Amino acid sequence: MSTEKEFLKVRAIKNGTVIDHIPASAVFNVIKLLELDKVENEIIFGTNLGSKLMDKKALIKIVDKYFGEDELSYLALVAPMASVSTIKDFEVVEKHKIQPPKEVNGYVCCANPMCITNKEDICTHFTVTLKESGELALKCRYCEKETRINSLKLIK
């Protein structure tokens, strides 16, 4: 089955945002980080779709909703390869480039089980650093330990 046919299964939207090339395993994290579970807008999504670029991808279309660069920056934590397009009148009018955020407040758990944020009801704060390996890491303001992006867990 070709990608094109899969793509058509997820119907076109007139106005809004299309987030494509989300790893299928990351789709629920994307929903949480963009707080799509809290919006009233019509949302269409497909997951476990075939893709030329990745193994199994997910695709999310949000009708009549547009995101700021700050909100989209959080995608770099869970879906760095994602592409985000703004749709107006069925046309792509803008493609966003995702830049990682400088700070992450909330959403993410500190990976250190001995960290105070995992013991008491305290909002997490991280600064985002780029490792020598090119990987992103989150440095906790409290315990000063790094949470690696590939072991990232979101707060429930």
Footprint on this chain of another protein (rule: CB under 8 A): 112, 114-117, 119-122, 132, 140-146
Residues in contact with Zn ion, total (CB under 5 A)? 6
Strands 43-50 and 91-96 turn out to be unpaired
Task: Tell me the torsion sign for CA atoms 1, 5, 11, 50.
Answer: positive
**Which of residues 30 and 137 has its CB atom nearest to another protein in the complex?**
137
What six digits make up the tokens of 143? Answer: 């315990």
Residue 112 Cβ, how far from another protein at the closest point, in Å?
A: 6
Query: CA distances (Å), 66 to each of 98, 108, 140, in order?
Result: 14, 23, 30
Residue 48 to residue 25: CA distance in whole angstroms:
9
Show the site string, 125-154: x = touches Zn ion by CB under 5 A, - = not: ---------------x-xx-----------
Residue 154 to residue 91: CA distance in whole angstroms:
34
Residue 122 binding: pick among another protein, Zn ion, none (C-beta 5-8 Å cut-off by kind): another protein
Residue 120 binding: pick among Zn ion, another protein, none (C-beta 5-8 Å cut-off by kind): another protein
Residue 143 Cβ, how far from Zn ion at the closest point, in Å?
A: 3
**Which of residues 68 and 113 has its CB atom nearest to another protein in the complex?**
113
Residue 114 Cβ, how far from another protein at the closest point, in Å?
A: 5
Question: Using CA atoms in the order 21, 42, 32, 51, what is the torsion angle rounded to 10 degrees?
Answer: -10
Residue 56 to residue 33: CA distance in whole angstroms:
20
Residue 116 Cβ, how far from another protein at the closest point, in Å?
A: 4
Map residue 4 onto helix, strand or coil: helix
Binding footprint of Zn ion on the chain (CB under 5 A):
110, 112, 115, 140, 142-143
